[in-house]
Amino acid sequence: MAKPSGLKMDDMQVTGRTDIPLTEHGVGAIKKLAPEIVGPGKLLDAENLCHVWVSPRQRAHKTFELLFESLDELPPHKVCEDVREWDYGNYEGLTSEEIKDKDKHWSIWKDGWDFLLELVQV
């Protein structure tokens, strides 16, 4: 599954369902990482990939394309809503600092999981 981070690295906003492009930082990070992990005998060996599911968010598409741009063709893949990014609910688009202004004890790992019910249903 090719899935980028749910954070916009330039301003650290929580972005799950918001369909934003991959940042320049993200593009650079993927381009630097891809040669190390994609190719014969590496972590992502196209010969060993039967199928890849990609989130419908444009940043996920771009991540997938950049990872495999050195290949003649992309591995078999399908855009699938079931692997979309988390929905951060009312915290979507806010920075961690803005969220903590609303709830000083908030942590993404224990709070703010409006999407948890959705995960249980999947």
Q: In this predicted model, what pLDDT tens digit does every residue of 48-74 receive, in sequence order? A: 999 999 999 999 999 999 999 999 999
Neighbours of 82 (CB within 10 A): 9
Pairwise pLDDT comparison (32 vs 1), residue with the higher score: 32
| Section 33-47 average pLDDT | 95
Q: What is the pLDDT of residue 92?
A: 80
| Section 13-17 average pLDDT | 74
CA distance 106 to 62: 31
List all residues 6 or more positions away from 7 whose beta carbon is below 8 Å from its beta carbon.
13, 14, 15
Going 5 to 8 to 32 to 74, the CA torsion angle's sign is positive
